[in-house]
Amino acid sequence: MSALPRECPKSEITLKVNGKRVTVHAYAMDRLLDVLRHDLGLTGTKEGCGEGECGSCSVLLDGVLVNSCLIPILQAQGTSVVTIEGVSADRRALALQQAFLDCGGAQCGICTPGMILAACYLLHKTPQPTAKEISEGLSGNLCRCTGYLQIIEAVEEAARRGVLT
Amino acid sequence: MNRDHIVGTSVPRLEGREKVSGQARYVDDMVLPGMLYGATVRSQIPRGKIRKITFGQQIPWQEFVIVSARDIPGKNCIALIEDDQPCLADGVVNHPEEPILLLAHEDRHALPMAVEAVSVEFDPLPAIFTIEESEGRREIIGGRDNTFKTILIEKGDVESVWEMADYIVEGEYRTGAQEQLYIENNGMIAAFEPRQGLTVWGSLQCPYYVHKALMNLCGLPEDRVRVVQLETGGAFGGKEEYPSMIAAHAALLAFKSGRPVKIIYDRMEDMAATTKRHPSRTRHRTAVSKDGKILGGTIDFTTDGGAYATLSSVVLSRGAIHSGGPYHWPSVRISAKAVATNAPPHGAFRGFGAPQSLFALERHMDHIAEVLRLSPVEIRRRNFLRPGQTTTTGQTVSDPIDLGRLLDRAMELSDYAPKKERFARENQQGSSKKGIGLAAFLHGAGFTGAGERYLSSVVGVEANKDGTVRVLVSSAEFGQGTKTVLCQMAAEALGLGYEDVRIAQPDTQKVPNSGPTVASRTVMVIGKLVQSAATGILQTLRASGLLGESYSAEEFRRACREYVRTRGELRSLARYEQPEGIVWDEEKYRGSAYAAFSWAVYVATVTVDLTTYSVTVDDFVALQEVGKVVHPVLAKGQIIGGVAQGIGFALYEKVVWDNGRMQNGQMTNYIMPTSADLPPIRVYFEEMGNVHGAFGAKGIGELPMDGPAPAIVNAVQDALGVSFDAIPLLPEDIFDALARQEVRPEHAAPAQKNP
């Protein structure tokens, strides 16, 4: 008798990813993170800890910031997911990406996609955040390189530029 | 010719666009056709003999590739400094998580249960877990009598100073293990083709370390092993030596299966099995005159190396050399040793021994000040090294550094005196206490001693047929900005724009061996070689008559195109040569330990909450002299990031051990600072140049790791009037100390006044 997982049935799941409807066949408890990376080839979403602590796998699920490592794919049925690959359609995200480049918000880059999504979500809720609101808003996303200050500066800068445009 | 300076300006990070858009390719983003996934069966016990390995019946084992030590074609070791660490345990294990077997399967879902289904039975042997147990030698588990390396540094006659001393101040200081906690876990992909040989792609700092380890393990010649560094998601030393192990494992599975194999660690495996900062114990005994001058002293610096030698000898060396700090020791005896325990080997982590010994020294300086009733500022000022004086290894300070002035500026920037006075007043009441503390320190750039001469790094710059220029180095980018700064330097040297210069991805088939990306050496040593190789291109073009004294970027491109078309390849190589005057005696540990030192004074302001016993850092001033700031935004980022790691080292990051195994190997219970935990970190640079570095630059990567922990713990002592001599300093430690203090005032014991 084999105990390998392939003996379990896969489910057909339909969801929208970056505006496109996709159907995948996956184990019900497969993580949204793995479906995005393995099945859909969207590798911009990163795995850091696999337990919802580091935020590297952040995506927007029906407009809400989630850790995709904690979402069983079954739960994503019928939802709309936006990843770093799709976020560039958003004016705010473009401003954030540019500000991250200008202010030194990205060093090794592994937390950056998640950080940009978290910052997008923050600016969506609070277009002109204070430094404290930014540091609290991003506190679910760990970065080991920057010490965060240049990330916070980048978000402030993006918010400032958002007013000008 | 472009007359604007490029070095010294914040040009766009070379690979920044790919990183912010999620397009940058890390090892786990790469998939090869027919690729299998690999996993590792590890030791569950700290020490013992492997009696039997059983494969559980519920798994279809015929579908798996299984590799044991018997499948290793070459030597079963991970070649580094000493060849004592096996690639796979062969009969015995010496630490928890030691690799025993490798499994691969095409379905990654199949691996966790297969690993689980392998049971290894052991005949356990007694194990040791602390420096003291190792020194006790009840069990000899590694090295020579449990010792991997000893170092003795002697200056003057320290035995003659005790009699002259007005005070003899003693102290013992400890630092814990610290996890590098790069956000990208370790990972490698290996593929083997009988004709082309072995190729590995991965997350790593030192392509040629991996290359050497694989040649040795696989018995393959140099040209049949290729190592390619992919985008690397943080490293901090944690990807200096251990990637060789993972590459070796992936390679063995690829050999046996004939298919590409990917091994990616998950967070728990990465934290439990890979290296951490060496735990340390430092004992100081210092003779001081009543006017606050250090007359001499002894420093015993001991590190826990874990089960195999790996990098312990060189970590020990840097730690020992830095243990005297930026002070003048008329005489000193530094005795250092790295001991063996049955923990996974400890390894490289930003600072490389210096944060450990400098924590001890900078706490000890505050203790000396306390004994002499001097201020922490004054005790440092009176003992600073001055140009012309010699360090503990007898190296003459050649920088025109004025540490007293650096100290004054740090005091002013941090509002030290007014704060100190105000806190003393305000701490009389209230449920929280504030304190301010400082640390003065130095960090040597480049490999220690003769290290750079042995490495003999080679750097290339080539001109291509389309007229573009490319830098060729094995120095890796993993967040610090290696590619950006080396391109800046090449552009500056060539008189071109930043955008006119490219840099190759580190690939041992395409780039020369410019050594490992470690030791704060890239900007200073590699940068200088890039500058010199670039100059070689200019000289060749000029000698060929294709380029005049002054030229535009377009004229330069045209000259390159013309050269390549008519004469073929245009490549200029530069090899490191030890500058005159840099002399090191490895036997006696005397001479120029480093070509250059960066110098710093850091000041921390803290609040200790007496309800929760937690420490909050309220303000942090980081002032340093770094030779030349090559890229202001990146340099500032290095300092802030290093300070943040230092705050973690001091206050949050505790590895909980049980029988040599990390018990809290998750981000849930191993706590690093979040964006909500950090103070304003105010960064200031001074630049006095450096003849040994490109454009006057010194190293800065490790420097900011050295100062935060002692500055913060000194500030906590200032707040509470209680001494803490071990880190990490957690709320429970503060609670315990305050409870103890009610019984017995601490600190009277170590100081003794000579009659």
What ranges in B48-203 are assigned the alpha helix state H?
A: 111-117, 131-136
Q: What is the CATH number of domain B280-448+588-753?
A: 3.30.365.10
- The pLDDT assigned to A89 comes to 81
**Residues facing residue B284 across a β-bridge:** B171, B299
Please name the member of B23, B28, B675 whose beta carbon is closest to the beta carbon of A135. Answer: B675
What chain B residue is nearest to A152 in terms of C-alpha separation? B675
Please name the member of B60, B183, B666 whose beta carbon is closest to the beta carbon of A111. Answer: B183
Is residue B62 within 8 angstroms of chain A, CB to CB?
no
Both structure tokens of B646: 């230092």
Chains A and B: how many Cβ contacts under 8 Å?
A: 183
Looking at CA atoms only, how far is residue A164 from chain B in angstroms?
22
Is residue A97 within 8 angstroms of chain B, CB to CB?
yes
| B728 pLDDT above the threshold of 50 | yes
- The pLDDT assigned to B711 comes to 99
Looking at CA atoms only, how far is residue A9 from chain B in angstroms?
14
Is residue B13 within 8 angstroms of chain A, CB to CB?
yes
Which pLDDT tens digits describe chain A residue by residue (165 residues)?
Answer: 445 666 778 999 999 999 999 999 999 899 999 999 999 999 999 999 999 999 999 999 999 999 999 999 999 999 999 999 999 888 999 999 999 999 999 999 999 999 999 999 999 999 999 999 999 999 999 999 999 999 999 999 999 998 755
Looking at CA atoms only, how far is residue B59 from chain A in angstroms?
6
Residue B743 pLDDT level (bands cut at 50, 70, 90) = low
Distance CA B237, CA B223 (A): 27
Which of helix, strand or coil describes residue B736? helix
Is residue A62 within 8 angstroms of chain B, CB to CB?
no
| B753 pLDDT above the threshold of 70 | no
Residue B1 pLDDT level (bands cut at 50, 70, 90) = very low
| B748 pLDDT above the threshold of 80 | no
Give this prediction's pTM: 0.97
Fold match between B34-125+181-273 and B280-448+588-753? yes
- Per-window interface: A 23-52 vs B, CB < 8 A: 27, 37, 43-51
Of residues B164 and B580, more confidently modeled:
B164
- The pLDDT assigned to A118 comes to 98
Say which amino acid occupies B63.
E
Helix (H) or strand (E) holding B570: strand B570-575
Interstrand relation of B332-339 and B294-304 (parallel, antiparallel or unpaired): parallel
Distance CA B509, CA B172 (A): 49
Distance CA B83, CA B635 (A): 37
Mean per-residue pLDDT of chain B = 96
Distance CA A127, CA B172 (A): 52
B457-483: average pLDDT: 97
Hey, where are the domains in chain B?
A: 34-125+181-273, 280-448+588-753, 451-575
Residue B615 pLDDT level (bands cut at 50, 70, 90) = very high
B407-429: average pLDDT: 97
Q: Are the C-beta atoms of B519 and B668 separated by less than 8 Å?
A: no
Both structure tokens of B386: 């001055």
Residues of B whose CB is below 8 A from A122: none
* Predicted complex ipTM: 0.97
Both structure tokens of B310: 């790996």
Q: What is the pLDDT of residues B64-94, one digit of tens each?
A: 999 999 999 999 999 999 999 999 999 999 9
Torsions phi, psi for B724 (to 5 deg)? -125, 130
| B10 pLDDT above the threshold of 90 | yes
What interhelical angle do A112-125 and A149-164 show, nearest 10?
A: 50
Q: What is the pLDDT of residues B660-710, one digit of tens each?
A: 999 999 999 999 999 999 999 999 999 999 999 999 999 999 999 999 999
B267-275: average pLDDT: 98
| B550 pLDDT above the threshold of 60 | yes
Taking an 8 Å cut-off on Cβ atoms, the answer to whether A108 and B22 are in contact is: no
Which of helix, strand or coil describes residue A7? helix
Q: What is the pLDDT of residues B137-177, one digit of tens each?
A: 999 999 999 999 999 999 999 999 999 999 999 999 999 99
B542-568: average pLDDT: 96
A41: left (phi over 0), alpha (psi -120 to 50) or beta: left
Taking an 8 Å cut-off on Cβ atoms, the answer to whether B13 and A106 are in contact is: yes
- The pLDDT assigned to A3 comes to 55
Q: What is the CATH number of domain B34-125+181-273?
A: 3.30.365.10
Domains of chain A: 9-85 (3.10.20.30), 90-164 (1.10.150.120)
Q: What is the CATH number of domain B451-575?
A: 3.30.365.10
Name the one residue in this structure whose structure tokens are 């392998």: B118
